Chain A
Amino acid sequence: MKTPFSILTLVLMLVAGIMLVGCPSDEERTGTLQFYAEGEERAREGLVSKDGWSISFDHIYVTLSDITAYQTDPPYDPYTQVTVDHQVRVSLEGTYTVDLAKVGSAADPRKLVGQVSNQPAGHYNALSWRMVKAASGPAIGYCLLMIGIAEKDGEIVEFTIGVDQEVEFRGGEYVGDERKGMLEPRGTADLEMTFHLDHIFGDGLKPADDEINLDAFDFEALLADPTIIDLVEVHLGHVGEGHCRVIPLG
């Protein structure tokens, strides 16, 4: 004869079994996170430097590693926080050299660097990545290698400007037309490493005393000595329009 104890145990086991069958599987709680690199129109269509050179790029190679997305609560603030305190972290393994001057696809001009599947759903509101020296390929030895043609007053110059200073960028939530990084179960979300070339070359279409031009370099000065580009000071890396904290490496 069964005791009340054993009957209660059986009932509990039965109910627990039914409840656990109803639990979502890992697949139902996860999605795919995509990582894009974007140089914006300036990279693909060219720009006018602060000293009046019309510049078009054949290639803008950036070499990226340690690309990591975070869910942070409270949200990470690159202005006040050094470390990214997070609840969830997703890393894209590997090192990638991307040409920002080339269109990613007809549907999306950004360059897809990579994606990671089966990652926890939630809002990925912080992103970090490193710019490192390429170990092989066309940009070998450089973190940033820009190749193109510049023209001013009929003078045409072919240029190659390389930067070998390794840095890490740490940004908060993407700032742009829409919010990014919201990964729904079974869904796909994207994050973007955005590179603002006007922080290097300035913007000749804006007044000389515009803030962007006060901090940028003359193109002719860059031709003479590309090493004047200090990636820690330039703040090349953004998350959309949001600034990143820049950490020097090495």
Chain B
Amino acid sequence: MHTKAKFIIGLATLLALHLMLSMPIHAHGVRIHHTVDVVVEITAAYDSGEPMAGAQVSVYAPDDPSTPWLTGVCDDEGRFSFAPDVSRPGTWTVRVRQAGHGDIVYISVGGSSDTSGRASGYAPLQIVLMAVCVVWGSVGTALYFSRRRR
């Protein structure tokens, strides 16, 4: 068989296979979609070990530390669970209070901590520009003196 004919047959075979595999298969298919939610569960107790049953819980998202994102109460075992919004990564704050006693716990969500530390006050563009200016100034000074020596 000619090489050209072999090539055409091979191409046709590949095309047929492609069409077969691309055709919808009408059967009793099953599709399972899944999502992974982060669920945080806390357990609050007094130093004596007594659960803080019915204690007030306030949850704060990292990007709004002043307004509770969620409020609720602990169950009889002092447990409280919630699913933080993973699109708001950082340090989530959970405050538990009851009858003049309370505590706060911090939970990192999304792999990055919040930015509660001191800000430099400069935008990233400003920092980059300042760095470029410093480098350019150094290079320029070096070039200036190297030119004068010639």
Main SS class of interface, B: mixed
Q: Contacts A12-B136, A175-B95, A175-B103 hold; do A211 and B47 have CB atoms under 8 A apart? A: yes
What is the CB-to-nearest-CB distance from A12 to chain B, in angstroms, rounded to a whole number?
6
Q: What residues on B are CB-neighbors of A28 within 8 Å?
A: 121
What 0/1 pattern do residues 84 to 100 of B give for CB contact below 8 A with A? 00000001010101001
Interface 9-mer from B28-36, B71-79, B110-118: B110-118
The CA-CA distance from A242 to B130 in the complex, in Å, is 43
Main SS class of interface, A: mixed
The number of residues on chain A lying at the interface, defined by a beta carbon within 8 Å of a beta carbon of chain B, is 37
Q: Contacts A71-B117, A179-B65 hold; do A15 and B126 have CB atoms under 8 A apart? A: no
> Does A175 contact B46, Cβ atoms closer than 8 Å?
no
The number of residues on chain B lying at the interface, defined by a beta carbon within 8 Å of a beta carbon of chain A, is 35
> Does B121 contact A211, Cβ atoms closer than 8 Å?
no
Q: Check: B16 CB closer than 8 A to any chain A CB.
A: no
Of B46, B117, B121, B133, which is within 8 A of A73 by CB?
B117
> Does B113 contact A73, Cβ atoms closer than 8 Å?
yes
Which B residues contact A (CB, under 8 angstroms)?
46-48, 50, 60, 65-66, 91, 93, 95, 97, 100-104, 106, 113-119, 121-122, 125-126, 129-130, 132-133, 136, 140, 143
